[in-house]
Amino acid sequence: MPVMFQINGKIVPESEAYVPAMDRGFLFGDGVYEVIRTRGGKLFHPELHYARLTQSAQRLRIPFPWSLEELEKNIEATREAAGTGEHYVRIILTRGTGLAPNIDPAHAPSAPNIVLLVRPLELPSREQYEKGFSAWLVNTLRNHRQALDPAIKSGNYLNNIIALMEAKDHGADVALLLNSDGFLTEAPTSNVWIVKDGRTLTPPPEAGILLGITRGLLLDMARREDLPVYEEAISRETLLEADEIFLTSTLKDILAITALNGNPVGDGKPGPVTKDLARRFHQFVEPD
């Protein structure tokens, strides 16, 4: 199945997909993005991703010119060119092509650049779900909300990249980041949850996190089913003493962390609460 792009309305294969060298997303990371997956051949909650995309764009004062209906129409046209099957869709919006390599947005008076990337959907393997991931609590801190707010899903991912490299140096699959106050925030591309004494906890927005779509759906499900799931500040000590840890994201759903800093979490296998929530979530999002 080919990888297809749509660049400012033109659908092209990967070999012909280019943006100008003066594009501000390339030069400065001056842009935002979203990733949507399909389930059963249909976009999964595009309205939630559209809301977050436009909110991120507004924070950067970049106008997004499409309505939700126009976005869906353009995605479907690109998906049709990419062939049948389940898809990964990445929406990239940059401030546009600059007149000069100057950070001042006044040097980008033209329209924003919009790129759609459609490729076959690749999910973690059954073995990875059964084994879980290893994590490392890194020394790299999450961006402060008053510096570069993690709630903005921007193309500037250096904080996450540096953290992931640090975790990889220790042989771990993912990094877990604290904020400057010493509380848990998230992983580079996932929200983090812990289970302690029968309660499931995830950091609140004020910890400095991206409000994940899967995170929000899981919280909604938990509230509907009256489950002991809460948004609470999680200290380093509480994290290290967790009975279970798991991640949520668009491309992972719910995936266990079974080792932290080289030590097993619980018995070193996905825990009962994690497995139960994963089962419930699957039924919640794919009831048929």
Which residue numbers are catalytic?
153
User: Which 8-state DSSP code applies to residue 131?
Assistant: H
Long-range contacts (CB closer than 8 Å, 24 or more residues apart) made by 234-239: 234/183, 234/184, 234/194, 234/201, 234/202, 234/203, 234/207, 235/182, 235/183, 235/184, 236/137, 236/178, 236/182, 236/183, 236/184, 238/184, 238/194, 238/196, 238/201, 239/137, 239/176, 239/184, 239/194
Which residues, in sequence order, are bridge partners of residue 31?
A: 94
Q: Which H helix or E strand runs over 114?
A: strand 113-120
In the structure encoding, which two tokens stand for residue 99, read together? 């007149």
Q: Which H helix or E strand runs over 89?
A: strand 87-94
CA-based nearest residue to 174, from 234, 247, 235, 106: 247
Strands 263-264 and 133-137: unpaired
In the structure encoding, which two tokens stand for residue 158, read together? 């250096």
In the structure encoding, which two tokens stand for residue 243, read together? 């009975």
In the structure encoding, which two tokens stand for residue 69, read together? 């209906």
Q: What angle do CA 86, 88, 90 make, to 5 degrees?
A: 150
